[in-house]
Amino acid sequence: MAIDTQTLGCCPNCGEAITRDYLLIEYESEGRPERFAECPDCRDVVHPSGE
């Protein structure tokens, strides 16, 4: 399995970079893409910030 190192953003809780490998769901809300991902450091499910 290939590792995808594209960064989605950072965890709003701990600041760790979140790569696409941790993406759980991606959807569109009000015409904008939204994402939920698991933080590899604190293991919380978050909206990655700072794209």
For 1-51, give the DSSP string.
Answer: ------EEEE-TTT--EEEGGGEEEEEEETTEEEEEEE-TTT--EE--B--
In a domain, 19, yes or no: yes
Residues 1-51 have pLDDT tens digits of 556 679 999 999 999 999 999 999 999 999 998 999 999 999 999 999 875
Tell me the residue range of the domain where 12 lies: 7-46
In a domain, 33, yes or no: yes
Predicted pLDDT of residue 28: 94
Specify the number of domains making up the chain.
1
In a domain, 2, yes or no: no
